Amino acid sequence: MDEDDTSILGACRDRCRRGVENKNAGTGKVGMDLVVGIIGWLCVELVFYGLFYAIGWSFIKMVTLGRHPGPWRGAEGFVDAELVAFAGIVVTLVVVLVAWKYLAP
C-alpha cells in the first residue's frame, strides 16, 4: 500500500491489486481474491461511507448546532469523511447498546 494512502479505500484497492496478481491472472480466469476484493470495496463504499456517514453527519450537526461538519471539500476531505463515518459507527453502537439494555425482556 502507498505510504500516504492509509484509508480503508486504499486497503481495498491494495486487496484488489493483489487479486489481479494471483496465479490465474494470465489465464483469463478471475481470481477469487479479486471478486472478494470488489465485494469488500462495494460494502465499504455503501455501508461505511453511505449509511454511517449519514448517521455521523446528522449527529455531529445536531451536537455542534450546525457548525460542523462543513461542506464537502473533495479529495482532501476523505479523512474527515472517515472520521464522520466513524462517529456514525460509535453513535450506532451506543444506540444499539442502550436499546438492548432497556428493551430486553
* CA distances, 30 to each of 26, 37, 41, 43 (Å): 10, 12, 16, 20
Answer whether residue 1 is part of any domain: no
- Assess contact for 31 and 13: CB atoms under 8 A: no
Q: Percent of the chain scored above 70 by pLDDT? A: 70
The pLDDT value given to residue 34: 83
pLDDT value for 35: 84
Q: Is residue 74 part of a domain?
A: yes
**What is the residue range of 64's domain?**
8-103
pLDDT at 62: 93
Residue 1: pLDDT band with limits 50, 70, 90: very low
In a domain, residue 90? The reply is yes
- Quick: pLDDT tens for 61-93: 999 998 888 777 776 777 788 888 899 999 999
CA gap 24, 40 in Å, rounded: 20
Q: Are 52 and 90 in contact (CB under 8 A)?
A: no
Q: Enter the pTM of the model.
A: 0.59
Plot region of 58 (φ>0 → left; ψ -120 to 50 → alpha; else → beta): alpha
- 3 belongs to a structural domain: no
For the chain, what is the domain count? 1
